[in-house]
Structure 1
C-alpha cells in the first residue's frame, strides 16, 4: 500500500506543479533560480524532445499502451514478496508515467518546466514526472540485475 501511495504522491506533486506553471502568464517565464535552474513553460506535444509531435494521436495511443504493461508489472511486483528496491522503482515509474499520460489525454500536451544548467542537457526541458521516470527506470534495472 505504501508504494501505491508513493506513486500517487509523485503523480499529485507533478500535477500540482504543472497546474501552477500553467496558471502563470507566458511572459512570466523564464524564472531563474539562484542555483542556475530555470523554470519555463513548455508544451511538449510529442515524446522526448518533441519526437512525433506531428502525430498526437499516435503519441497518446503509445503512451496508453505503454502504461498498461507497466501497471500490470507494478501490481505483480507489489503482490509478490519482492525487495523494496524494485517496488520503489516501479512506484517512481508508475507515478511519473501516469502524470505525463494524464497531461497527454486531458491537455493534449505534457507540461515541461525545468531546465537544468548542465551543459550537455540544458537544451532539454523536464518536469518532475520525467525525473521520477528516469530514477524509476534506473532502480528497476538495478533490481532486475540483482534479483533472483
Structure 2
C-alpha cells in the first residue's frame, strides 16, 4: 500500500491511457521498421543467443491457435482487453504493480490486435536460442503482456505480505 493508501499513478485514467499510447507507438514503430528492413525468416545475429528473426504469427502467443479463424482470435483479444479493463477498475487504487501490469497487458494486447487488423497476422522478431534449443519468436507487445502478468503476480505477493503483517500487528 502506498503512504496513507493514496492512488497510484496507473490507477488513474489519463496516465494509463498515455502509457498505453506511448507503448503502442513504440511497438508499432519497431514492427514497421522490422517489416521494412529485416529479411523474412532469416536470422540476423545480434549477440550470442539473440537474433532478430522476422516472422508472421497467425495465432496467439507462441503461435498457439494458429489454425483458428482470424476473427475468433480478434474476438478473444478484445475480450482479454475488456476483462483486464474490468479488473483495473475493480482493483484498489493503491495497488501500484497491479495497475502497471494491467496497463502493460492492455498495451500488448492492443499492439498485437493492431497487427492482426493491418496485416492479418502479428509481426514477431526477437529470437533467443542456443545450439540445441530456441525459444518462440516474439515481439515487444508480447514482452509487455509477459512483464505485465509478472507485475500482477508481484503485486499479489506484496499484498499478501501486507495483509499478513497487518494481521500480525492487530493480533488477528
The TM-score, its normalising length taken from structure 1, stands at 0.83
Instruction: Between the two structures, name the one with larger relative contact order (CA 8 Å, sep ≥ 6).
Output: 1
Residue 2 of structure 1 is matched in structure 2 by: 15
Q: Is the 8 A contact 2:52 2:127 kept in 1?
A: yes
The alignment covers a number of residue pairs equal to: 146
Distance (Å, rounded) in 1 between the aligned partners of 2:90 and 2:131? 39
Residue 60 of structure 1 is matched in structure 2 by: 74
Residue 108 of structure 1 is matched in structure 2 by: 120
Distance (Å, rounded) in 1 between the aligned partners of 2:80 and 2:147? 17
Moved over 6 A (4+): none
Q: Which has the larger radius of gyration?
A: 2
Distance (Å, rounded) in 1 between the aligned partners of 2:33 and 2:65? 27
Give 5+ residue unaligned stretches, structure 1: none
Superposition deviation, residue 7 in structure 1:
2.2
Report Cα offsets for 1:9-57 as digits up to 9, x if no partner. 2221111110111112636942111354111111100012322222222
Alignment of 1:120-131 (within 5 A): 122-131=134-143
Residue 64 of structure 2 is matched in structure 1 by: 51
**Structural RMSD (CA):** 2.4
Distance (Å, rounded) in 1 between the aligned partners of 2:61 and 2:104? 18
The TM-score, its normalising length taken from structure 2, stands at 0.73
Residue 12 of structure 1 is matched in structure 2 by: 25
Give 5+ residue unaligned stretches, structure 2: 1-13, 164-172
